[in-house]
């Protein structure tokens, strides 16, 4: 460890001109040979940008990269490859009609003479590589039949076959079961022993603490520090990852603590323009209130598809003034469930009732016409039009109100936009293109549009994504406030903790089945986690008792 | 790969046009002949009423086809079948003219123009419908349909409808009562330019001041966003294509009743393709389509003048158009505005 780092990134600064997001500020990273190195940080801390810069995929504004003692030129993926940087992306893709072998040798095919592919030699070389690294994979099979774990193995083998000395894995366990994950960590361990550097990029602290030898923490685009693994425990790590706050503060942004400045924004947002008929209720204590009318009801809804995940016999009831959190693994049904809720997928069987009436025509248009707010996961792709102006992004759901005889008077749309922006404390020119705004400001525009008018139902997916701490607190206050006014809120999230700490009821989606827990107070994070991964599907388990809640909170923060 | 986002930068267009002029001058300079030839190029289109009026007439027709392309482009669809839509529109207009009694007069002319628009509309709307219904790429289908329509019209002109008394491959003339008024004798200029200006103004208003226009633009900018926001995106695939087809058909009808008075084989050549160039120069902004069409028509007329009077080869015209196309499409290339 006393020797020089094999890879050294210094002073990396990157601001994306498209959205003004400052992804990296003077960030640094040192990677040594023969180690497992964890690069940790929250969503949006700048981890991905940093490794994309290292891989030559993104050009930094400033900074240097030294690999094995020599400076490499930036934004040159081929040079990064030559220098031994191998990146395994979060979403591994392969040519499905090719076998694992054919995918593997793509780009570095062993040839005999003028272009004759030596398949046998390739297979032998890869067999040797697998024996050497302890990775087992059927490379004769077509990759169409590969599981997420097998694709991941394929990507690792590809990188190693291409001569990588530094293997970077972006959230490698995101789509894997616990058992699969453990298998991968033993592979990583083995690889590190052969002298490779293995860099694991993750926001899952718990699973990295054991295997990692060194940890680099990022926050808000900066490198907070580099620590030997023994120096930190989980709670210490968590508090370093979360800016200027104890980890506890992050867990419970309740509607009551309004000391931060964003509190005012939220109050303005929710008290602003609910011109409908908000039924004011006292407090937020309407957990499982059986008296409230059922707003949305799924009974036996199934979505079957030839490939990929499906949804099986989904049933639940959402009452007015209830916050229902549904969690699961995105690729294993949660995305599909979002598409179903958004109306782009039609169920094969089962019925959906809204306000007691059966939903006959299932499309985004009918849902929107019913006045449902929807904040999609893909904020930029589905939530806004980057080339349009802020104003044009704001008026989409209010066209009926704003147009007269089909004409949209500019004065009216302008006034509407200015007022909507005021509600979310965003003082900016509504006629400018929205891509000039920062990511956080864009989120506020989306919130202003979706929640600017009274809604019976709010569907919000991955509410924390792309938001900083203040933004998250504002978001939760808004949702809790809406709930207290009688709006039903449906939160889809792949992050357990946010769902645990706010929902009246929780649903866990696994293998296409939804298990509903009406009393989430008794569930612990690890219980929920193993349910997500299919440890047990008996369902309807209510937790031990509510007095344990403080302990659960504690455990959550430990694993933040 | 082409970006399917509607480009809207005017600055790039100006640079592209300036460069096209430079290319033209360079070619004229290289091929010798000195200042006289250059002045023919620049002043030629203004030297007499005939050339001037014909240039304006051409600009009017190009405005219509350019508008048709821009509208489709703004909604995120690509109409590559302009040539066939112009041609088929003209045929539809012609058929109405020969079916109506020659005394139908200006009412008949109006009916013929509408039919011409309808002919283009049907052809283009089918591509839009196929995209909405089956996801067929409208770029390919509009091109293929157009490519099939052209020989069909040619067959009618060379066969059943041919005027055996003429040396040209043409049909008989339509009745004189259907002729559109000439605005600048002895040139061909008729109502195409005023109609082009009128429709451009209407399209600008529609696009930027009305709800359907807003929904059309949002669909073009981000189809997913529009869809999740409850916009009937399918409708905004069919309607702009159909409207574009109508404009192309109208151009065919106006060329028939205003300029040629008969269906001449190949008369539409270039109107559809050059409409794309005009739309690109205009940055797909309908208010800029007429100026863009004027500039493009001027470039064409100038090279024609140089060709006729200064002994420059026929290729000059083609080279200048190629230069405009090339320079304008540079802006489509991926990587624009990306990192480094």
Say if CB A416 and CB A462 are below 8 A apart: no
Residue B236 lies in a domain: yes
Domain termination residue (choose one: A244, A265, A282): A244
**CATH number, residue A326:** 3.40.50.300
The DSSP annotation for B154-178 comes to HHHHHTTTB-TT-SSSBBPPPPGGG
Asked if residue A82 and residue A231 are part of one domain, the reply reads yes
Q: Which domain holds residue A170?
A: 7-244
Indicate if A27 and A149 belong to the same structural domain.
yes
Q: pLDDT of B6-26, one tens digit each?
A: 445 667 777 777 877 787 777
Is residue B288 a contact partner of residue B294, using CB atoms and an 8 Å limit? Answer: no
In-domain check, residue B68: yes
CA dihedral of residues B37, B38, B42, B47 (deg, nearest 10): -30
Q: Say yes or no to pLDDT of B200 above 50.
A: yes
Give yes or no for a cis peptide into A455 (omega within 30° of 0): no
Question: Is A440 in the same domain as A467?
Answer: no
> Which residue blocks in chain B are alpha helix, DSSP H?
10-30, 34-43, 49-74, 82-99, 105-134, 138-158, 192-209, 211-221, 223-228, 235-254, 271-281, 286-309, 315-329
CA nearest to B214 within chain A: A392
Q: Residue A2: inside a domain, yes or no? A: no
> What domain range is B214 assigned to?
10-332
Rounded Cα distance between B197 and A160, Å, is 64
A450 and A462, same domain (yes or no):
no
Q: Give domain status of residue B3, yes or no.
A: no
Write down which residue in A212, A244, A276 finishes a domain. Answer: A244
For residues A62, A66, A71, A73, the Cα torsion angle rounded to the nearest 10 degrees is -50
Q: Specify whether A444 is located in the same domain as A497.
A: no
Residue where one domain finishes, among candidates A398, A433, A454: A454
Looking at the structure, tell me whether residues A450 and A463 fall in a common domain.
no
The answer to whether residue B227 neighbours chain A at the CB level (below 8 Å) is: yes
**Considering the domain boundaries, does residue A1 fall inside one?**
no
pLDDT, position A466: 63
Pair A93, A16 in one domain: yes
Same domain, A52 and A171: yes
The yes-or-no verdict on residue B241 having pLDDT over 90 is yes
Looking at the fold, whether A12 and A149 belong to one and the same domain comes out as: yes
The C-alpha of B335 sits at a distance from chain A's nearest C-alpha, in angstroms, of 13
Same structural domain for residues A315 and A338? yes
- Number of structural domains, chain B? 1
Domain count, chain A: 3
- When scoring A408, A414, A433, A461 by the number of chain B Cβ atoms within 10 A, the one with the most, hence best to mutate, is A408
Both tokens assigned to B29: 């300079």
Tell me how long chain A is: 560
Does B232 contact A at CB distance below 8 Å? yes
CB A223, CB A29: distance < 8 Å = yes
Do A36 and A163 fall into the same domain? yes
ipTM (interface predicted TM): 0.78
Q: Is A374 on the interface with B (CB under 8 A)?
A: yes
Q: Are residues A101 and A239 in the same domain?
A: yes
Average confidence (pLDDT) per 10 residues, chain A, 560 residues: 80 77 87 92 80 89 89 84 86 79 78 73 87 86 81 88 89 71 86 91 78 89 87 78 48 35 37 37 46 83 80 86 83 83 86 84 85 84 86 88 87 89 80 78 84 85 70 78 87 74 81 78 67 54 34 36
Cβ atoms within 10 Å, residue A10: 15
If you compute the radius of gyration of chain A from its CA atoms, what whole number of angstroms results? 25
Q: Give me the CATH number covering residue B93.
A: 1.10.3470
pLDDT at B206: 92
As beta bridge partners, residue A29 has: A9
Chain centre to alpha carbon of residue A292: 32
B231 CB neighbours in chain A (<8 A) are 365, 396
Cβ atoms A170, A88 nearer than 8 A: yes
**What is the C-alpha R_g of chain B?**
20
Q: Cβ separation of B214 and A365 shorter than 8 Å?
A: no
**How far, in Å, CA of A193 to CA of A485, rounded?**
58
Strands A62-67, A111-112: pairing kind = unpaired
Query: Is B209's CB within 8 Å of A408's CB?
Result: yes
């Amino acid at each position: 460890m006393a020797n020089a780092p094999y890879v050294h990134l210094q002073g990396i600064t990157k601001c994306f001109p498209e959205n003004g997001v400052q992804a990296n500020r003077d960030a640094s990273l040192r990677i040594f040979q023969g180690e497992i190195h964890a690069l940790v940080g929250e969503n949006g801390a700048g981890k991905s940008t940093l490794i994309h810069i290292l891989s030559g995929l993104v050009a930094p504004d400033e900074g240097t990269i030294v690999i094995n003692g020599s400076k490499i030129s930036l934004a040159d993926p081929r040079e990064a490859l030559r220098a031994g940087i191998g990146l395994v992306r979060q979403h591994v893709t392969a040519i499905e009609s090719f076998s694992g072998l054919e995918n593997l040798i793509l780009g570095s095919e062993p040839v005999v003479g003028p272009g004759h592919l030596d398949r046998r030699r390739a297979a032998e070389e890869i067999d040797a590589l697998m024996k050497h690294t302890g990775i087992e994979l059927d490379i004769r099979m077509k990759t169409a039949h590969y599981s997420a774990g097998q694709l991941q193995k394929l990507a690792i083998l590809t990188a190693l076959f291409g001569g990588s000395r530094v293997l970077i894995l972006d959230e490698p366990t995101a789509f894997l079961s616990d058992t699969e994950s453990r298998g991968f960590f033993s592979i990583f361990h083995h690889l590190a022993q052969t002298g490779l550097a293995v860099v694991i990029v993750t926001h899952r602290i718990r699973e990295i603490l054991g295997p990692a030898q060194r940890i680099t923490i990022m926050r808000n685009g900066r490198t907070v520090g580099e620590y030997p693994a023994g120096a930190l425990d989980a709670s210490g790590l968590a508090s370093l990852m979360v800016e200027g706050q104890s980890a506890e503060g992050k867990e419970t942004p309740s509607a009551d603590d309004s000391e931060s400045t964003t509190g005012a924004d939220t109050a303005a947002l929710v008290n602003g323009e609910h011109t409908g008929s908000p039924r004011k209720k006292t407090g937020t204590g309407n957990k499982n209130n059986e008296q409230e009318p059922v707003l949305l009801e799924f009974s036996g809804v199934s979505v079957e598809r030839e490939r990929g995940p499906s949804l099986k016999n989904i049933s639940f009831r959402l009452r007015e003034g209830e916050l229902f959190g549904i969690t699961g693994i995105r690729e294993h049904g949660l995305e599909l469930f979002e598409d179903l809720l958004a109306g782009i997928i039609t169920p094969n069987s089962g019925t959906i009732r809204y306000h007691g009436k059966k939903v006959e025509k299932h499309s985004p248009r009918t849902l929107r016409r019913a006045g449902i707010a929807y904040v999609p996961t893909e904020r930029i792709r589905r939530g806004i039009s980057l080339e349009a102006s802020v104003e044009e992004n704001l008026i989409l759901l209010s066209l009926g109100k704003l147009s007269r005889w089909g004409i949209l008077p500019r004065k009216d749309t302008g006034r509407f936009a200015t007022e909507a922006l005021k509600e979310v404390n965003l003082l900016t020119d509504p006629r400018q293109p929205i891509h000039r705004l920062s990511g956080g400001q864009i989120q506020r525009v989306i919130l202003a549009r979706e929640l600017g008018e009274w809604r019976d139902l709010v569907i919000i997916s991955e509410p924390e994504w792309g938001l900083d701490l203040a933004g998250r607190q504002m978001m939760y206050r808004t949702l809790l406030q809406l709930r207290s006014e009688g709006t039903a809120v449906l939160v889809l999230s792949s992050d357990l903790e946010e769902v645990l700490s706010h929902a009246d009821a929780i649903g866990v989606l696994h293998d296409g089945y939804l298990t509903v827990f009406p009393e989430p107070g008794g569930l612990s994070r690890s219980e929920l986690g193993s349910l997500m991964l299919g440890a047990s599907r008996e369902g309807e388990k209510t937790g031990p008792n509510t007095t344990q809640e403080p302990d659960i909170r504690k455990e959550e923060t430990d694993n933040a | 790969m082409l970006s399917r986002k509607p480009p809207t930068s005017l600055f790039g267009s100006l640079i592209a046009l300036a460069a096209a002029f430079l290319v033209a001058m360079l070619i004229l300079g290289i091929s010798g002949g000195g200042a006289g030839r250059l002045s023919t190029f620049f002043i030629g289109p203004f030297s007499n009423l005939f050339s001037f009026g014909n240039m304006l007439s051409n600009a009017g027709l190009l405005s219509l086809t350019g508008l048709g392309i821009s509208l489709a482009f703004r909604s995120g669809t690509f109409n590559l079948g302009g040539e066939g839509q112009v041609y088929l529109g003209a045929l539809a207009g012609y058929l109405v003219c020969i079916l109506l009694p020659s005394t139908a007069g200006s009412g008949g002319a109006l009916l013929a123009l509408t039919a011409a628009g309808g002919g283009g509309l049907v052809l283009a709307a089918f591509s839009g419908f196929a995209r909405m219904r089956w996801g067929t790429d409208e770029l390919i289908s509009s091109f293929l349909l157009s490519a099939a329509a052209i020989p069909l019209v040619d067959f009618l002109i060379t066969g059943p409808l041919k005027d055996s008394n003429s040396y040209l491959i043409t049909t008989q003339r339509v009745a004189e009562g259907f002729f559109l008024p000439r605005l600048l004798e002895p040139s061909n200029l008729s109502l195409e330019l005023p109609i082009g200006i009128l429709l451009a103004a209407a399209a600008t208003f529609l696009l930027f001041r009305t709800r359907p226009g807003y929904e059309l633009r949002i669909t073009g900018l981000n189809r997913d966003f529009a869809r999740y926001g409850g916009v009937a995106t399918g409708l905004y695939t069919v309607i702009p294509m159909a409207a574009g087809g109508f404009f192309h058909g109208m151009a065919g009808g106006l060329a028939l009743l205003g300029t040629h008075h008969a269906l001449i084989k190949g008369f539409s050549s270039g109107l559809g393709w050059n409409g794309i160039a005009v739309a690109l120069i205009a940055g797909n902004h309908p208010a800029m389509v007429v100026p863009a069409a004027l500039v493009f028509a001027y470039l064409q007329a100038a090279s024609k003048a140089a060709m006729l009077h200064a002994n420059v080869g026929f290729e000059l015209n083609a080279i200048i158009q190629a230069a405009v196309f090339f320079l304008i499409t540079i802006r489509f290339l991926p990587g624009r505005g990306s990192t480094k």
